[in-house]
Amino acid sequence: MQNKVNRPIFVVGSPRSGTSILTWCLGQHPNIFAVPESNWMGDFVVNTAVVYQVGAARGHLSILSAMDISRDELLANFGRTIDDLILSHRLDLEKTRAAIPSLPEFMRRSLPEARTRWVDGTPEYSLHIYALKKLFPEAVFIHVLRDVRDVVRSMLNLHRLTGVQLVANEEEAYSYWLRTVKACIQAERAYGSNAVRRLPYNALIDHPEFAIRSMLDFVGEPFCARCLEPLSCQINSPDVPPDFVAEVPATDRRIVEEATKLYVALRNAAELTESSSAAADEMAAEFERRVQHLATVEDQLRNAVRTIQTLEKQCSAQKGNIRDEALL
């Protein structure tokens, strides 16, 4: 069993694609435990990158630049601290889950193994893979790919299970799938199959042992039959009525066609094995745009407020002039 430090596993892909069930499967391994969906780490990296600019803004007069501390070094150190915190609080997480009787037994049990890795199945991290690689340079990602039509049906029926609507309509569901899947495919191109591995949802359902074996081999862990147990349970799975029809006349059929063609192309295409520097550069550029937008948004807001205040004063003055003219 490998004992690598700071090598978390992220299960990504569109929501309703099987990210939760795979996360729990991997979390049954004696060296891995599943954490709740976190959602905050991608934004944390962007915010830290913004703060880094402040700490390195004045050359030898700023602490980070004067001490030759790069942004990547700062982020990787934060990543090690986060990894240590998560690992050190595993027993607290197990106590929390053990106290919730409604959870399946495999979620509530406490296991004696000293686990050195964790797995996070936050679907939104599909859009933050570049940032997470900066935080955890040795992290690996599993992209679960499911038929877009099944995903859309599941998205539109999730409220039956949770009472919360994930998307407002069919078009938004297809767009959501496109956005997350395109981001995952870009990461596959940028980092190659050693860092990002695609898993067809059908393979997990139709050939579960083979799928789990291959994913454990990818993350560098030996097979454990216990990892198959969650597949016997339904996790976050809404019952979609058999007569449910997702098609809505108002939906932009071009979006539906784009998503459907992309899924078919990915289903039939061989997975990329080599990394692409061009794809990596695209991801880096997009991250920098996000950082710069956040860095300047407060200034933009202040300017907008000043503009509004100026317009309000002008409007008030014009109203006063109109009243004065009416009295003449």
Assess contact for 50 and 295: CB atoms under 8 A: yes
**Is the alpha carbon torsion for 194, 200, 201, 206 positive or negative?**
negative
Half-sphere exposure at residue 204, Cβ-oriented, CA atoms within 13 angstroms: 28
Whole-model pTM: value is 0.88
DSSP code at position 166: S
Reading the chain (328 residues) residue by residue, the pLDDT tens digits are 444 457 999 999 999 999 999 999 999 999 999 999 999 999 999 999 999 999 999 999 999 999 999 999 999 999 999 999 999 999 999 999 999 999 999 999 887 778 999 999 999 999 999 999 999 999 999 999 999 999 999 999 887 777 788 899 999 999 999 999 999 999 999 999 999 999 999 999 999 999 999 999 999 999 999 999 999 886 656 666 666 666 677 889 999 999 999 999 999 887 777 889 999 999 999 999 999 999 998 777 777 778 888 888 888 878 777 766 666 6
The CATH classification number of 9-275 equals 3.40.50
* Alpha carbon distance 21, 234 (integer Å): 8
Assess contact for 286 and 130: CB atoms under 8 A: yes
Assess contact for 83 and 6: CB atoms under 8 A: yes
Domain ranges of the chain: 9-275, 279-328
What does the block give as tokens for 206?
Answer: 């139709």
